[in-house]
Structure 1
Amino acid sequence: MSEPTRKYSVTMPSDVAEEARSRSGPSGLSAYVTAAVARQIERDKLDELIAACEAENGPVDPAGVEAKLAIFDEAESTHPGQVA
């Protein structure tokens, strides 16, 4: 069974609404907007998780991130298409 739905009124600039409508395809504007809002909620939750982790452990070390990305890049160049 699918989730229950409710109808909402949303105000947005007409150029944004028309662009969204033109891109929504056969699924329709409601599905397009729902997907966009769901993605934003995921991003907001990720930001909250990062903030909580940084509050507990301190900020992420950019050099450490670069080092880990280099490991992935090396693995991808050695084994193309096999690194997920």
Structure 2
Amino acid sequence: MREPTGKYSITMPRDIAEAARSRSGPSGLSAYVAAVARQIERDNLSELIQVAEAEPGPITDDEVQAMRDQLHQARQGQANGGTAA
């Protein structure tokens, strides 16, 4: 099932927009820009790792599951057009 989409107007430097357009190929600029979702997921994961590493000692299975749950909630928030912590 495809995620719902919306049309947005963004402002970016012309050289970046042209570079993205030239690299987008047949999938189009929108598909290329949609790759931002992968970066958001990486950022969410990085934040969770930083929190986990700040705590002393080993990470328990319960803590790992709690982090998985947080990532799942963040994905759901993105899919619903919002953000979840």
- % of aligned pairs identical? 77
Is structure 2 residue 23 aligned with structure 1 residue 23? yes
- Corresponding residue of 1:10: 10
* C-alpha deviation, 1:31, in angstroms: 0.3
| Structure 1: segments with no counterpart, 5+ residues | 59-84
* C-alpha deviation, 1:45, in angstroms: 1.0
Normalising to structure 2: TM-score of the pair? 0.60
Moved over 6 A (4+): none
Is structure 2 residue 44 aligned with structure 1 residue 45? yes
Normalising to structure 1: TM-score of the pair? 0.61
Aligned length: 57
Larger of the two Rg values belongs to structure: 1
- Corresponding residue of 2:63: none
| Structure 2: segments with no counterpart, 5+ residues | 58-85
- Corresponding residue of 1:55: 54
Q: Aligned AA for 1:53?
A: A
Q: Give me the CA root mean square deviation.
A: 1.4
